[in-house]
Amino acid sequence: MEKTLSIIKPDGVSKGLIGEVIRRFEKNGIKIAAMRMLWLTKKEAEGFYAVHKSKKFFESLTTFMSSGPIVVMVLEGENVIAKNRELMGATNYLEAKEGTIRKDFATDIEKNIVHGSDAPETAVSEIKYFFCDLDIV
């Protein structure tokens, strides 16, 4: 079974969307294999998004990601990386398909409610950033 990392970002948590996001995962046959809530420091957010360090939006993104609590989850299922990305919709909510999480709830290309790993290698490293093996059931 494939695994991926999902994050409900500070805007998703503050808008009361934790249950709604999890409901969409479970309704679509995705299993939650680990879950916790935390509040990232700026440094921890910078570490997580290190791959975007050279981007113009890096400062703003990491400030936003450390602005409030987030929920991190390990999702498990067949083709779960692609399935999660389909449920989230495009990064830019204006381009996201109808019925996706970002189309329904995002307000901004940055404040886009959820994050999901984009490939098997990133899924492994992103899961490791937040969870140890013993946390994953």
Interface positions with ligand CMP (CB under 6 A)? 52, 57, 61, 91, 109-110, 112, 115
Which residue, 32 or 109, is less far from ligand CMP as judged by CB? 109
Nearest Cα to Cα of residue 5 among 116, 122, 102: 116
* Minimum separation from the CB atom of position 9 to ligand CMP (A): 7
Q: Which residues, 6 or more positions from 99, have their beta carbon under 8 angstroms from its beta carbon?
A: none
List 24, 83, 85, 115, catalytic entry: 115
Give yes or no: 115 in active site.
yes
Is residue 21 within 8 Å of 12, Cβ to Cβ?
Answer: yes
Which residue, 37 or 94, is less far from ligand CMP as judged by CB? 94
Q: Which residues are marked as active site?
A: 115
